[in-house]
Amino acid sequence: SFSGHTYPELLAVFPENDILERTSMNSWDDQNVRDALARNAANGRKKIVVSGLWTEVCNTTFALSALHDVPDYEIYMVADASGGTSADAHKYAMDRMVQAGVIPVTWQQVLLEWQRDWA
C-alpha cells in the first residue's frame, strides 16, 4: 500500500481474506475498494466499519466520498481505534463526519455487537 506492506502478523489472523493494496490516501479513489464494497452491498451488506490513522485525511475522505456516491451505505467510524495528527484534528474530523451522517462508535461497541452471545 502507499505506506508500506501489511505486517505478516496481521495477515495471519485472517489468511482467507484478500488484501486490497492501494496507493491513495482516500481508499474510495481505488476502484478495487469500490468494487469489493459493491459486491458486499449486492449481498445486502451495506454497513462499513472504518478505523485507522489520520482521521482527518484517510478516514474522513473515504467516509464522505462513500456517502456521497452511495447514500445507502451506513458508515460506522470507530473513534477510539483511530487517530489524527492532533487531538483537535481528530475531533474536528469526527464532527465533520457526524454532520455528514457517519455514525460514531467505540471499539467496544463494535466488538460486542459482532459477538452477540457469551457462549
pLDDT digits (tens, 9 = 90+) for 10-31: 888 888 888 887 778 999 999 9
Q: Would you state the pLDDT for residue 43?
A: 95
Q: What's residue 63's pLDDT? A: 98
Question: Is 104:94 a contact under the CB 8 Å cutoff?
Answer: yes
Residues labelled as active-site residues = 58
Q: Is the dihedral of CA 21, 84, 67, 50 positive or negative?
A: positive
- pTM, entire model: 0.86
* Number of residues written out for the chain: 119
The structural domains of the chain, with segments of one domain joined by +, span 8-115
The pLDDT value recorded for residue 1 is 53
Architecture of domain 8-115 in CATH? 3-Layer(aba) Sandwich (3.40)
> Residue 5 is placed in which grid cell?
506492506
Q: Is 75 helix (H, G, I), strand (E, B) or coil?
A: strand
Residues of the chain with pLDDT under 50: none
